[in-house]
Structure 1
Amino acid sequence: MPTVAVKRDELFQLLGKTYTDEEFDQLCFDFGVELDEITSEKEQIEREQGKDKASGASDVVEYKIDVPANRYDILCIEGISRGLLVFLEKLKAPRYTTVEPSGEKQRLTILPSTGQVRPHAVAAVLRNITFNQERYKSFIDLQEKLHQNLCRRRSLVAIGTHDLDTLKGPFTYDAKPPADIKFQPLNQTKEFTAPELMELYSKDAHLKQYLPIIQDKPVYPVIYDSNKVVLSMPPVINGNHSKITVNTRNVFIECTATDLHKAKTTLDTIVTMFSVYCEKQFTVEAAEVIQPDGTKINYPSLPYRFEEVNVERINKQVGINITAEQMAKYLTKMCLVTEPLKDGKNLKVEIPPTRAGIL
């Protein structure tokens, strides 16, 4: 069960209300998550390393919230606050939509060589987004949580996010012999070949766990822009050239994968959570991905679908006895917009793109 750490006062500001710890604990229980711990950076350091090590650490109160493993939509403060506001009936569930760009669409071409190592890729653009330090940190944290959870430590999916204004499309997803790949990786000051990077990161506590995914392959994945600038060598590291900062206004997102379904879910999760900060809220600019056979697919898909469910059957399975109208209200409060059908025995439930865990 993933744990999400959020700053208490920031969360309360988003919710438009201040709660006591006991009141918020009850709200979490009602919503179906658990307030696991109330702490601060200073308190954690004192507990783990002693008081003398905590000098200068932040005493901002943090809530650590345990969320279900299939609730990718509440792995960040944006998703938690949005979900709680809908649950409290202070907000209607947003409608997430893809839009066409005003100019040329960003394109990513997958070359056949990638089939040897990591055959799938999806992409999208968050246009005219506004970051600040907290939003930026949350954006990075969500990627890390997805990597550890849905992406299975990057073995199924690896996420790359880039400052689009530093790049020039169209983009190419290729796979090359390691010695043929050379670029300046994230937060480094010089270029390395791929074998040199594997040696460098074999001593890195964070990145060394991802090296075995590709290190024995004859070719390594790599994404270029039209000027041969390297965006990333997934699933290990992004290029420094297109590094995201708080000043980034347009974000190009690429996800490479061995599991296409998981890649689409990962992309949908990122763009639905952070499109709230775009100039046109909850809209995502479509990108075109060209498959090795020439097929063209637009992403993100952001699928909405409907399910018809029987009220009596649900009552029986859950062990409750409520009306179709009550059931529809409860489901709608969980971002599953629902209406009773005319027969009074069944419900029409809309499953949004944020709830891929509902089969």
Structure 2
Amino acid sequence: MPTVAVDKEDLWDRLGHKYSPEEFDRLLFEFGLELDEDTTEEVEAARKQGLPAERPQLKIEVPANRYDLLCIEGIARALRVFLGKEKPPLYKLVYPPGGEKNIITATVAPETKQIRPFFACAVLRNIKFTERSYASFIDLQDKLHQNICRRRQFVAIGTHDLDTLKPPFSYEARPPKDIKFVPLSKTEAYTAEELMNIYEREKHLARYLHIIKDSPVYPIIYDQNRTVLSMPPIINSEHSKITLNTRNVFIDVTATDLTKLGVVVNIVATMFSEYCKEPYTIEPCKMIYPDGTERITPDLSYIPMTAHPSYVNSCTGLNLNAPELAVLLEKMTLIAKEDTSDFDTVSVEIPPTRPDIMHECDIMEDAAIAYGFNNLPDTFPPTSTVAQPLELSKLSDIIRREWALAGFVEVLPLILVRISSYPKP
């Protein structure tokens, strides 16, 4: 499970309350999180000795599938809603002045199919960074790269100062000798071939080189003036780097997996849209694929689902009606309302920040968390049986043991997937 370090005082400000260690530990437990460490004592001890020390941090363990909790913005937002201090935010796309005809476009070249075929973009307008929010923005990208992106193998994120660039953009794949630009934190221009040799000696980037190194073409993103934005999944350009003075952020996401592409671009855009002049608004971009198909990204559609109080009650032992269930689900940032035509139905809209909600059982789990696991009634099961393994299970265990003794390694594949709402290009 990922551990997210957040600034303690910053979190208290966002929650509007200073919690004691016991209170905060209990709050996290009720929400389904765990406090791994509080560095307050270490910081105070260092300061007493006259040593330099950072501000106290809280290290919070979050579920691996809750990508919306990988930054202080997401954690604070979810806890505020859970505590009833605000309603779930409504994320929406806002087109630039002039409407869709003035939307930023990005053309995807046919050659990208050889290496990373999927592309998505988004824009955060009139954003205002502080040192801490800027650091959180960078840290979220790193957390996503290590988590859902599988160390940039499936997805890579690039963020740029839009005011240094000139749309429209093009996403291409070119031979490494034909790519030349000044990479992030460098002052000279290098070809992609030269960069591969340079980064072999830099630990933080060397681990990603194998993703594209042996490919005849490398992914590359240009603006209208052929200025390089990024060579995903390795490095961004120095030209368009983000700073504290950046006001308009251009987000590019390249991927080999369409579902993960949609999840990642949604999370990065929605988490930091609260810093926009109009909070929770994102400016979309238009992707133009080689076959002429077009797609607007990000897709912030709320996914409609249905929850039934009878099902939730059967799993939890509760006796909830539809209005009560709807209130519980809103505490978990879901949009829920009772169906007036059916007393056993609650209409639920899943926000783009919750890709972990895939079935009604996930909604049931959220309802149980909102109600409080410790508050669920203790009941004995209606039947009593003596468990024993099936004959097939016995045979499987014997085979597993023998294969393990012979030196084989058992692998459990990732079989749970979510069907993306994005059409394939």
Counterpart CA distance in 2 for 1:272 and 1:111 is 28
- Partner in structure 1 of residue 167 of structure 2: 169
2:4–2:71 Cα contact (<8 Å) kept:
yes
Which residue type is aligned with residue 350 of structure 1? Answer: E
Q: How far did residue 2 of structure 1 move?
A: 0.9
Which residue type is aligned with residue 12 of structure 1? Answer: W
Q: How far did residue 43 of structure 1 move?
A: 5.5
Which residue type is aligned with residue 72 of structure 1? Answer: Y
Q: How far did residue 41 of structure 1 move?
A: 11
2:321–2:344 Cα contact (<8 Å) kept:
no
2:313–2:319 Cα contact (<8 Å) kept:
yes
Normalised to the residue count of structure 2, the TM-score between the two structures is: 0.80
Which residue type is aligned with residue 213 of structure 1? Answer: I
2:155–2:260 Cα contact (<8 Å) kept:
yes
- Out of 59, 70, 73, the residue aligned to residue 65 of structure 2 is 70
- Partner in structure 1 of residue 320 of structure 2: 322
Q: Secondary structure at the match of 1:207?
A: helix
The CA deviation string for residues 268-303 of structure 1, in whole angstroms up to 9 with x for no partner, is 111111111111111111111111111121111101
- Partner in structure 1 of residue 52 of structure 2: 56
The CA deviation string for residues 53-75 of structure 1, in whole angstroms up to 9 with x for no partner, is x93232x2110001111111111
Larger RCO, structures 1/2 (Cα 8 Å, 6+ apart): 1
Q: How far did residue 44 of structure 1 move?
A: 12
Which residue type is aligned with residue 345 of structure 1? Answer: D
Q: Secondary structure at the match of 1:206?
A: helix
2:43–2:56 Cα contact (<8 Å) kept:
no
Q: Which moved more, 1:200-209 or 1:250-259?
A: 200-209
Could you list the runs of 5+ residues in structure 2 that have no partner in the other structure? 359-425
Counterpart CA distance in 1 for 2:71 and 2:145 is 13
Q: How far did residue 42 of structure 1 move?
A: 5.9
- Partner in structure 2 of residue 25 of structure 1: 25
- Partner in structure 1 of residue 243 of structure 2: 245
- Partner in structure 2 of residue 225 of structure 1: 223
Which residue type is aligned with residue 113 of structure 1? Answer: E
- Partner in structure 2 of residue 135 of structure 1: 133
Which residue type is aligned with residue 344 of structure 2? Answer: K
- What is the count of residue pairs matched by the alignment? 353
- Partner in structure 2 of residue 272 of structure 1: 270
The CA deviation string for residues 167-225 of structure 1, in whole angstroms up to 9 with x for no partner, is 11111100011111111100011111111111111121111111111111110000011
1:41–1:57 Cα contact (<8 Å) kept:
no
- Partner in structure 1 of residue 83 of structure 2: 88
Could you list the runs of 5+ residues in structure 1 that have no partner in the other structure? none
Q: Secondary structure at the match of 2:145?
A: helix
- Out of 333, 336, 345, the residue aligned to residue 335 of structure 1 is 333
Which residue type is aligned with residue 133 of structure 1? Answer: E
Counterpart CA distance in 2 for 1:40 and 1:223 is 44
Question: What percent identity do the matched residue pairs reach?
Answer: 53
- Partner in structure 2 of residue 12 of structure 1: 12
Q: How far did residue 319 of structure 1 move?
A: 4.2
Q: Secondary structure at the match of 1:227?
A: coil
Choose between structure 1 and 2: higher strand proportion. Answer: 1
Counterpart CA distance in 1 for 2:61 and 2:325 is 25
Counterpart CA distance in 2 for 1:239 and 1:20 is 44
RMSD: 1.9
Q: Secondary structure at the match of 1:169?
A: coil
Counterpart CA distance in 1 for 2:166 and 2:91 is 27
Is the aligned partner of 1:254 residue 2:249? no
- Partner in structure 2 of residue 100 of structure 1: 95
- Partner in structure 2 of residue 349 of structure 1: 348
Normalised to the residue count of structure 1, the TM-score between the two structures is: 0.94
Which residue type is aligned with residue 4 of structure 1? Answer: V
| Structure 1 consecutive aligned stretches of length 4 or more whose deviation exceeds 6 Å | none
1:124–1:300 Cα contact (<8 Å) kept:
yes
- Out of 204, 207, 220, the residue aligned to residue 202 of structure 2 is 204
Which residue type is aligned with residue 89 of structure 1? Answer: G
Counterpart CA distance in 2 for 1:309 and 1:168 is 46
Which residue type is aligned with residue 13 of structure 2? Answer: Q
- Partner in structure 1 of residue 188 of structure 2: 190
Q: Secondary structure at the match of 1:218?
A: coil
